Amino acid sequence: MEAATTPSGDLGRDLDRIEEALDGGNTDLRELGFWRLVALIKRDEALIERHADQVGRIDTAAFRARVRLRVPVWAAATLQVLAIAAGVALVVFAIDNADADPADPLLDPSVVSGLCLLLAAFLWSAGAHSLTHLVVGRIVGIRFTDFFFAVPPPPLPGLKTDYASYLRASPVRRAWMHASGAIATKLAPLVALAFAPVAEAPTWSAVILLALAAFQISTDLLFSTKASDWKKVRRELAVARALRGSERASVS
C-alpha cells in the first residue's frame, strides 16, 4: 500500500488519503506511504509551506494513537531541570566534603565524593538529553507536543516534535536539534570528571566516569548512527545538501 514517487500536484490528495486511513484506525504511516511523501516535501520549500500543517496533524494523530505513556512537555522538563539541579548539588557537596574529617572509615570523604560525582553524572546524562533537545529546538523554531516512553520494554524516553514546526525549520537547524541532546549526554560524565581533582575523588571514580563516557560514545557509533539521533542528523544534512544542489541547478 506504500505510495510510489508522487508528483507534487498529487501530494495533497495523497495526504488526504492517509488522513482518512488514519481516521479509520490505520496508524502505520510507513505502510501508508506517509514518510516517503514527507521526504519529498522536505526538499521543496514551497511544498513545506503548503503541506506542513497537514503533515504535522497526521504525525501527531498517529503518534498519540500509538503511544499511551505520555506526559506534558512542561512536566518532563521540570523533572529534568530538577535532576540537573540535584547533580549540581551533589557536586557542590562533593567539593565541600573534601575537607571532611577522614577519621570515620565508614564515611571516607573521598569515597563519598566519588559516589556523589558518579550520581551527578547519571543525573546529568538522564536530565540533559531531552532537555537540551527542547531548548535548542525552541531556539531554532521547533516546538514539541509530548514527552513519552516508547514500548516494547524497556520503555525509552523521548520528546515528540510538532512536525509542522519541524518542517519549517531549516534542515541544518533540525540536524543541530537532533545532535544537541546526544552531545549533552556524552559531556555529562566528562563534566563530572572535571570536578574530581577539587573534590579529591578517588581514582576508581574517575576511571568509571571515563568508562561511562567511552561507553556512551561507542553506543552512539554502533547504534545511534543507524537508529537514533545521529541517523537523523545525517538524514537532515543530506536534505540540506540536496536543497543546495537544487538551488545551484536553478541558478545555472
- Which residue do the cell numbers 553524572 mark? 121
pLDDT tens digits, one per residue of 94-136: 999 887 766 665 568 889 999 999 999 999 999 999 999 999 9
pLDDT at 243: 87
pLDDT at 226: 77
Which of 107, 114, 136, 124 has the alpha carbon at shortest distance from 202?
A: 114
pLDDT at 4 over 70: no
- 203 — phi, psi (to 5°)? -60, -35
State how far the Cα of 65 lies from the Cα of 78, in Å rounded to an integer. Answer: 25
State how far the Cα of 47 lies from the Cα of 59, in Å rounded to an integer. Answer: 17
**Amino acid symbol at 148:** F
Report the mean per-residue pLDDT for the chain: 89
pLDDT interval class at 3 (50, 70, 90): very low
Least confident of 122-131, 151-160, 187-196, 214-223: 151-160
pLDDT interval class at 2 (50, 70, 90): very low
State how far the Cα of 22 lies from the Cα of 135, in Å rounded to an integer. Answer: 31
Q: Which residues, 6+ apart, have CB-to-CB distance to 34 below 8 Å?
A: 15, 18, 58, 59, 62
pLDDT at 245: 80
The rounded percent of the chain whose pLDDT value lies above 90 is: 76
State how far the Cα of 131 lies from the Cα of 138, in Å rounded to an integer. Answer: 11
- 157 — phi, psi (to 5°)? -75, 150
pLDDT at 201: 93
249 to 2, 171, 174, 191: CA distances (angstroms): 30, 19, 24, 46
pLDDT tens digits, one per residue of 127-177: 999 999 999 999 999 999 999 987 655 556 889 999 999 999 999 999 999
Is residue 157 left, alpha or beta, with left meaning phi > 0 and alpha meaning psi from -120 to 50? beta
Comparison of pLDDT for 103 and 226, the residue scoring more: 226
Pick from 68-82, 144-158, 225-239 the range whose average pLDDT is largest. 68-82
- Which residue do the cell numbers 573521598 mark? 110
pLDDT at 104: 60
State how far the Cα of 17 lies from the Cα of 62, in Å rounded to an integer. Answer: 14
Rg (CA), the chain: 23
- 3 — phi, psi (to 5°)? -70, 145
The rounded percent of the chain whose pLDDT value lies above 70 is: 89
pLDDT interval class at 53 (50, 70, 90): very high
Q: Which residues, 6+ apart, have CB-to-CB distance to 162 below 8 Å?
A: 56, 60, 142, 143, 144, 145
What mean pLDDT comes out for the span 238-247?
Answer: 86
